[in-house]
Amino acid sequence: MESSSAIDRLSALAQPGRLAVFRLLVRAGPEGIPAGEIAAALGLAPNTLSSQLAILVQAGLLSSAREGRVIRYAARPDALSELIVYLMEDCCGGRPEICQPVQEAAARAACCPPSRIRARRPLSA
Amino acid sequence: MESSSAIDRLSALAQPGRLAVFRLLVRAGPEGIPAGEIAAALGLAPNTLSSQLAILVQAGLLSSAREGRVIRYAARPDALSELIVYLMEDCCGGRPEICQPVQEAAARAACCPPSRIRARRPLSA
DNA sequence: CTTATGTTTCGACATTCGTTGAAATATGGA
DNA sequence: TCCATATTTCAACGAATGTCGAAACATAAG
């Protein structure tokens, strides 16, 4: 990925409301959630949420699909993959022991299987 | 990790100069690089770099150690692990096929072994 | 066609952020 | 002690960002 899109994605996520939206949609999975339900779940004004959703979509982190009157948003897992790869690129200059913990963390990421393995330390927003 | 530190880390990385610094130090490995060399390598004014380094250290992304007149900075791999775990937390609600590509991407991340396996697509800053 | 619902767009405002120049601090050497 | 090098701190300026109210747009139902 290009550095410009990495900046776009990082700054899209670097705001409390948008980070909450993204994480909510990561948890929701591929079906996604309609904009109105996101606003209700997070207590955000509809117009504020709308601008934030636009920024996340523009950054490639979310997809959107209209269903009647409702617009349903979903997280795009590939966007996260690309970002992680970009941040770790050429890491640890041939010393596997340095970045192995990072890879293990990604593999554990509280997912797959459902909740047998927990993340090490929770990270606050 | 807490959401506040996730925001701190994401916004620390969401700026071209700081992202370049962090990636340079990820590539440099655990020995790190003195501030002056970082400034020279990236063409940044010393005082500008100093504020950016302070932000990265404050976010927990870098460590610093004085060596005589020089201050040497290094990336902290754990900070990246925690961030990735936080972003992927409770992802894909029991559907492994959704987030498996993310984990594979992390495992491939152009590292360990040195450069046999390449990242899928480069990501611009 | 009119109305109601869901969502977005626009303009304005206060706040935050990044850079710059000048000065200050810290360490090492003559 | 005095000087040179390396880095940080401070104050100020312009640019970018997030939020709000009001209005506009899109879809569906009566």
What is the Cα–Cα distance from A79 to A60, expressed in whole angstroms? 6
Question: Looking at CA atoms only, how far is residue B98 from chain A in angstroms?
Answer: 7
B117 lies within 8 A of chain A by CB:
no
- Region B3-76: CATH code: 1.10.10.10
* For range A85-105, the mean pLDDT: 75
Residue of A nearest to B74 (CA): A92
CA of B21 to C1' of D14 (A): 25
A42 touches chain B (CB under 8 A): no
What is the maximum alpha-carbon separation in chain B? 53
User: How big is the A-B interface in CB pairs under 8 Å?
Assistant: 262
Nearest nt to the CA of A18 via C1' is: D18
- Using the Cβ of A54 and the Cβ atoms of chain B, whether some distance falls under 8 Å is answered with no
**CB contact, 8 Å: A114 with chain B?**
yes
Which of the residue ranges A41-45, A113-117, B21-25 would you say has the lowest mean pLDDT?
A113-117
DSSP E strands in chain B: the ranges are 33-34, 62-67, 70-75
Tell me how close the Cα of A31 comes to any Cα of chain B, in angstroms: 10
CB atoms inside a 10 Å sphere around CB B51: 11
| B27 class by beta-carbon count within 10 Å (0-12 exposed, 13-18 middle, 19+ buried) | middle
pLDDT at A20: 98
A68-77 CB burial, b ≥16 within 10 A, e <16: eeeebbbbbb
For chain B, positions 89-108, list CB contacts with chain A under 8 A: 89-96, 98-108
Say how far apart CA A106 and CA A83 lie, in whole Å.
13
- The DSSP symbol for B14 reads S
Contact A112 B103 (CB under 8 A): yes
pLDDT tens digits along A47-90: 999 999 999 999 999 999 999 999 999 999 999 889 988 998 88
Taking alpha carbons only, the member of B63, B71, B6, B67 closest to residue B30 is B63
For chain A, the domains span 3-77, 91-119
The CATH architecture annotation of domain A3-77 reads Orthogonal Bundle (1.10)
pLDDT in tens, chain B (125 residues): 888 799 999 999 999 999 999 999 999 999 999 999 999 999 999 999 999 999 999 999 999 999 999 999 999 999 988 998 899 888 766 666 777 777 777 776 655 544 344 444 556 66
- The answer to whether B33 touches B73, Cβ cutoff 8 Å, is yes
Closest Cβ opposite residue B110 in set A90, A111, A124:
A90
